[in-house]
Structure 1
Amino acid sequence: MSVKIAAEHVPKVVAVREYDDERDKVAVEVLERRSEEGQKDKHALVTDLMGDPVCRVRPFPIHIMLVAEYGKGEIVGTIRGCVKTVTLGNSVYVKLAYILGLRVSPTHRRLGIGTKLVQKLEEWCKQKGAEYAYMATECKNVASINLFTKKCAYKKFRTPAMLVQPVYAHYKPIGSGINIVPLTPKLSESIYRRIFANSELFPSDIDNILSNKHNYGTFIAYPKKFSWDPNAEIVTTLPSSYAILSVWNTKEVFKFHLKGVSALAYAGCMGTRLLDACMPWLRLPSFPDVFRQFGVYVLYGLHMEGQHASRLMKSLCAKAHNLALDDGGCGVVVAEVGQQDPVREAIPRWKRLSWDDMWYIKRLGDVSEKCEPSDWMNYDQSSSSVIFVDPRGF
């Protein structure tokens, strides 16, 4: 697959093909670093991929990575994608493509390479049966938004909230009178299929997610005064008040580090750590060292019900924070939820570190009759307040 670049004084040809680990790994790693260094935003979180470049999409059963070759085999662009089966919001499942990891070398931008990569990936997704494709980006990433909306015909879809909590140097207290117990993958699957049946984007292969090596575990919190058997294989009843979430460890997939911070801000952050080390009895909320590589714990499958729901969810988030603290190399705990999801208000976060994500969607082909009443292309339609965010997409 190849196309001539429609740009003045650029007679060379770009060829898009599937990534080959032996042939392309080193060049792709160089491209990733150059793309991060070429960011215009001086204050940014930089992603450092761990392992092979396909690691971010490998957990998806159907996935691919494409590279763009320029001239005599120079790798100047990459893109990753996958296809999954998810709920449309009414217990109906559709095939949905997820596009991520688009990178173009800073020296080869504005040549149509990004557009070509997206188009070729969409062709592959359609061959795999995808009815829709979507991508996520930050609202300040104007170049990415323009590419997908103006050149590739994507439309605004959802704006979930990305809630970020630093991992401090001290354990967070768990509320008194609360049971927090781990669940088996089988029981977790049974509960999730029950409570997320009418949500958006709930994956049909939730069992694969819960049994994945990156999944740290699923935990449920409920008042001690309620009797409930957490050892059952299939859920028949749940406590009248409970909260549940799962933890996904990204440390083996990618890590972050913060760049572009002023010397004053750096000194202030590190000063809190020094002060806390000198006077640990004060239990100061010392800021984690995010200026070196750090891992991320992703909270997903968050749900709560009942009179004590908010308090239970806060205790679960404290449990996740403490697990991250025990891990040692984790700098933040992240949860992404719908703007109208009730759990949003119960999740701890730092406003300065949190933001609203921007999701854009496109119909790839004819939508089956079962989808018509809830066509995702109608952004103004009433939809589920709950979005199940797949942790494999981080």
Structure 2
Amino acid sequence: MYPVPPAPTPPGQKEVKPNLVGVRNKQRKGVQKAQAKFEPQAFRDQLTKHLESVPPGDFDAVAQKLDVLGNQLDYRKYEQQLFEVLLVGGLLAPGGGFIDDGSAKSSFSVIGSAKEPVEAADLKKIVDVFHKLMRRYKYLQKPFEETALRGILQYTNKFSPIDQEKLAVATSQFVSTGLASANVLVSLKKDHLVKDGSAVTFLTTFCKTYIASESVEHLCSSLRKGGVTDLEGYFPPSKQNATELSAHFKSAGLEGVVAFYLKQKSGQAKEDTLARLKEFVAEEADYDEILTYLEAIYKRAVLTEPEFISIVWTGLMTSLDMTTKPELLPDLAIKEIQEVSPLLEPFCQKPATEVALINTIQIWCYENTKLMNTFPKILKVLYSTDVLSDQAIIYWHAKGAKTQGKQHFLNATTPLVNFLKEQEDSDEEEDDE
């Protein structure tokens, strides 16, 4: 006899699936872990208990133990807790303090295992444990950098000065060896860390440790790639200026950091000044408004005088339409230069600045070939409006010219230079009489 097929399910009723009586459905391990209760303190207790069995100071044994524990404890689920234990010895509560539940601190951690006074070589052995752990469990590196380390650094003032130093030295080694980006230092720019000086102290220790094993160029490259360029922001508000910053880092033997800061500051100032000048020109702003702005930038002394005058010239000349017919452009350029000369004259008080301006104009004319033959007329206009002195023009002609189109510009300005020399000679003769 053939089996009778099951009767069709009436419309509107849910189909009842067959049930295998006596068969147990087993969950996959991954599902079990995902659904398991989240118990960070239980994880901490298990981890610290296992680490207790390792002899103090045997960091190779610690690395081996952590390797094995990855198969027993759920590192992926407790990434933050794992690194809190390994960095500071216990779990942190919101606000940065330790969770006070009577538990003992881990026998191994950066602040618990490092010697006092702090030694970089000693901490390097501890940092190597982190390297070995993350080589074995690669998925841990991202949460270590982006969550755990950042989270601890923003509460660094909760630790004692000696523990802050340990964390700073270790962080420097994490960054210099590629385990983290210097961007983790941005966590220090919290108001509470900046105001009490914790941020700048940490940053200083970080930099001193870094250059003890790597070059200043390597450090500056790491800071730049990590977006740590606004070094003033790590200083207390009353000290957020170039003078205080330079004095602080120079006293710490970090002249290279000062040079890096000034270079970054100069580059940003150039971009900002040029952009603002272009806006002024586009808006046809009043010259008094432009001059007030330029004087404020000049007083900050972030840009050298030659850099500043070059930016001013470049910004002001954006008003000139270079698509004008070649036969009309020279006259328009001369007219424009006569009008803007009052904005140049206040900042051309030193021979070096005047020569820098001439070189800027030389390159400008070289790049805008329609104006190459107008170069002598431009110098003559600026001489007549007291922007340039005869000594600056003569010096430029003798040994200050740039290589771009040099011979052409020297030949073109020879009559003007000869005239200026004759003027000098006649003035000297009058003085002698």
TM-score, normalising length from structure 1? 0.22
More strand by share: 1
Tell me which of the two structures has the higher relative contact order, counting C-alpha pairs closer than 8 angstroms and 6 or more residues apart: 1
